[in-house]
Structure 1
Amino acid sequence: MKIISTNIAKPKTIIWNGNKVVTGIYKTPTNQSIFLGKSDVKGDEITDRKNHGGEFKACYIFSENQYSYWKNLYPDLDWKWGMFGENITVSGLNENEIFIGDIYKVGNALVQVTQPREPCFKLGYKFGNQNVLKQFIAHGFPGTYVRIIEEGYVKSGDEFKLVERPEKSLTTAQLFKLLFDKDKNKSHIDLAINNNALPQRKRNKLKSFLS
């Protein structure tokens, strides 16, 4: 995987169900290095700290390889890197080949794959169609959040180099499917709830499906 673009956002106010909502999903390319901190990307706007940022969602990564699929569905949008709210756009990210708990060296930082992105209404608002949420889930390539083990700067051209892979884990694609499937794969639940790269709250929620 190689970084194609680094993206950050300034706060933007939208109107949702008659209420003002401030969002940081409108990210645009920076053309410079960005600093990956323990809880967020320095200089990036995070307004909803309950659902974004923090240890397990410090930085969001999405694949440039998926852009052509979405451009075909939404050709009239103003397309640029960062369209999905990702801090880092990369080439070669395949959710079927990266595992929850994978540790990568990239730039001066050391990062760990934590969890796939679960889309919310803000993505639908940006795309002008809330149906994009169902399409995003069905497509199955959500990108991934990472935890920052060692803080540092990253820039376009930097490559992700695998440092460590857990002995027992599931892929980002498998976890994404598990989160939304009505009939959940019990063996995948077992792998997820014993993986400390996932936040305890998410592990507890998945564990409830075993009872």
Structure 2
Amino acid sequence: MQLLSINVGRPKLVQYQGRTISTAIFKSPVEGAVEVTEMGLNGDAQSDKSAHGGVDKAVYAYDMADYEWWQNELDGRELSPGEFGENLTVRGLPSAEVQVGDRYRIGTVLVEVTQPRQPCSKLGIRMQMPTFVKQFHWAARTGFYLRVLEPGTLAAGDAIERVERCEDSLSMTDIYQLRFDASAQTEQLTHAANLPRLSESWRADFCKLLESR
């Protein structure tokens, strides 16, 4: 497992379908060591802090296996690191295998997986495809958010070491599909809601689903 690219960006105004929108989804690769704090990467920022960033979503990662799947799905469209708005482009950590609560060491940084990414309209803007949000949703190749347990520095090329596998957990793909499965069983929703390392926002979502039952 390896960190292939570190991507950062700051909010900027873009024109989209006749509107002016502020977004920080346009991330670009940077070279050298980058400092990581509990709130994310140095040099990176979010436009809508109510939906992005924070301790539970300090860093967003996306895997090359998912990139390669999308390149085929999009008829060979060239995709560059940061295309999905991720901070870390990685290899060896596809969405279907990474689980809530898994912990990884990258450089001197210790991180913990908290939740999958739920797409918003900004992803459609980045891809210049209004329908892409729905495509991303149904594909369930979400990537994953990370909580920073030990701040430090990392650099492209660093090895990624899994230091703890969270047993009896759910993968990014599985928990994402469960969240939007109208036929999900109460036992499944309860299991997800009780995952101790799940982000607070997703825990609240599962609790609301349980209350509605």
1:24 aligns with 2:24: yes
Q: Distance in 2 between the 1:201 and 1:9 partners?
A: 24
Task: Measure the CA separation in 2 of the matches of 1:40 and 1:67.
Answer: 23
- Equivalent runs, 1:88-99 vs 2, <5 Å: 88-99=88-99
Partner of 2:6: 6
| CA distance, structure 1, for counterparts of residue 200 and residue 25 of structure 2 | 25
Is 2:209 aligned against 1:209? Answer: yes
Q: What are the residue-to-residue correspondences of 1:29-178 with 2, within 5 Å?
A: 29-74=29-74, 79-178=79-178
> Which one is further off, 176-185 or 69-78?
69-78
Kept in 2: contact 1:168–1:191 (CA 8 A)? no
When normalised by structure 2's length, the TM-score is 0.90
Equivalent residues of 2:62, 2:94 under 8 A apart: no
Amino acid at match of 2:172: T
Quote the residue 2:192 is aligned against: 192
Amino acid at match of 1:104: Y
Deviation string, structure 1 residues 141-188 (Cα, Å, up to 9, x no partner): 110000000001111121221222334311111111112222224333
CA contact (8 A) 2:63 2:95 kept: no
Secondary structure of the corresponding residue to residue 67 of structure 1: helix
**Would the aligned equivalents of 1:170 and 1:188 in 2 still touch at CA under 8 Å?**
no
Contact 2:23 2:47 in 1 (8 A): yes
Counterpart of 2:53, as a letter, is G
Q: 1:7·1:27 contact (CA, 8 Å) conserved in 2?
A: yes
Quote the offset at 1:85 in angstroms. Answer: 0.3
Gaps of 5+ in 2: none
1:62 to partner: Cα distance:
0.1
State the distance in 1 between where 2:11 and 2:209 align: 37
Cα gap change, 1:167 to 1:74, in 2 (>3 Å): closer
Q: Which amino acid aligns with 2:166?
A: P
User: When the two structures are superposed, what TM-score results if normalisation uses the length of structure 1?
Assistant: 0.91
Q: CA separation of 1:171/1:187 partners in 2, compared to 1, >3 Å: closer, same or farther?
A: farther
- In 2 relative to 1, CA 168–134 (structure 1 residues): closer, same or farther, beyond 3 Å? same
Q: Distance in 1 between matches of 2:64 and 2:96?
A: 15
The whole-number CA distance in structure 1 between the counterparts of 2:121 and 2:106 is 31
Larger deviation, residues 185-194 vs 107-116:
185-194
Q: How many residues align?
A: 211
Supply the distance in 2 between the matched residues of 1:77 and 1:27 (Cα, whole angstroms): 18
Which deviations, in whole Å up to 9, do the C-alpha atoms of 1:122-158 show, x marking residues without a partner? Answer: 1111212221111112212110000000001111121
Gaps of 5+ in 1: none
Q: Name the stretch that deviates more: 89-98 or 112-121.
A: 89-98
Asked if the contact 1:36–1:58 (Cα under 8 Å) also holds between the matched residues in 2, the reply is no
User: Helix, strand or coil: the match of 2:202?
Assistant: helix
Alpha-carbon distance in 2 for matches of 1:173, 1:78: 24
Measured in 1, the distance between the counterparts of 2:76 and 2:193 equals: 41
Provide the aligned C-alpha RMSD in A. 1.9
2:66–2:94 Cα contact (<8 Å) kept: no
